[in-house]
Structure 1
Amino acid sequence: MLRVSADPAELDIALVHDFLARRSYWAPGIPRETLERALANSVCFGGYIEGRQVAFARAVTDQATFAYLADVFVVPEQRGRGYGRAMVKAVLEDARLQGLRRWHLVTLDMQPLYRQLGFTELEHAERHMQKHDPDVYRRAAGG
């Protein structure tokens, strides 16, 4: 059974960094220092099986009006058991994240999961803008 915790002291930072930097399509090469700063300024959740972290998710939020759901993952050997859904559900149900006007996320391939949890495609997508720097981690690493 998956145990979800929002205690930052329980996070396996090495596991989170390894997954994001080496296995994710959205944060390849993220420097550990950058990740640690991001975690310190987010509401983070770890998913644990028998004391070992197997999943992660975080909310970048002001805890009043808006949250961005980020870095959701389950380690490959634990996928297909509903742990991703359990992680997102735990984030959405956290007491600090209630009454928000808007949640946002970006995903390449998990739209079906997020739809089950109440997310929809952007209304008026033409109103949303971004400033994106896909090479920032490579430059930070001196590459």
Structure 2
Amino acid sequence: MSEYDLDDDSGRVDFDAVWAFLSTEPYWGTWRTREQLAAQIASAWRVVGAYHRETGAQVGFARAISDGVAFAYLSDVYVLPSARGHGLGKALVRTMIDEGPGADFRWNLHTLDAHGLYRPFGFAEPDAKLLERPSRIPGSQLPPS
């Protein structure tokens, strides 16, 4: 991981790089327009980027929304295929949820296929207290498992 830096400076985010990945690759993100993603990033409570130390190129990203007091939702976590295998996914999650202002918050997220990444950070299937109303936005639902 020594060839990468993590940074929560929202001004450093390379929006074009984030858009290039999130608009084409992940099952969870391709339904959004460029303007919608820009609005989500602009209104995010916190973002964390992963950057190649020598080139400065953005190779990973995570976004969170929060009430700033007790609850946060983790979203849009990714690492480019060319940068995987260096622990960047774990580092992004750790930086976002354990090494920042939300370390004591209750965190939520949705994932279809990355349970193994999130379980070591304390994420688990919801219990009987959690209710959720699915989005009505076409294409925004996770595919069936």
**Is TM more than 0.5 here?**
yes
More helix by share: 1
> Unpaired segments of 5 or more residues in structure 2?
141-145
TM norm structure 1: 0.87
Is contact 2:47-2:62 (8 Å) kept? Answer: yes
Q: Would you say the 8 A contact 1:22–1:29 is kept in 2?
A: no
> 1:76 — aligned with what?
81
Change (3 A) 1:27 1:133: farther
TM-score normalised to structure 2 length: 0.86
Percent identity reads 35
Q: Secondary structure at the match of 2:23?
A: helix
Deviation at 1:117, TM superposition (A): 1.3
Taking the aligned partners of 1:95 and 1:82, their CA distance within structure 2 comes to: 18
Kindly tell me the number of residue pairs found equivalent between the two proteins: 135
Please provide the CA RMSD for this pair: 1.6
Name the structure 2 match of 1:141. none
Task: Name 1:17's counterpart in structure 2.
Answer: 19
User: Residue 122 of structure 2 aligns with which residue?
Assistant: 118
Is the aligned partner of 1:97 residue 2:102? yes
Structure 1 consecutive aligned stretches of length 4 or more whose deviation exceeds 3 Å: none
**AA partner of residue 45 (structure 1):** V
Name stretches of at least 5 consecutive residues in structure 1 with no aligned partner. 138-143
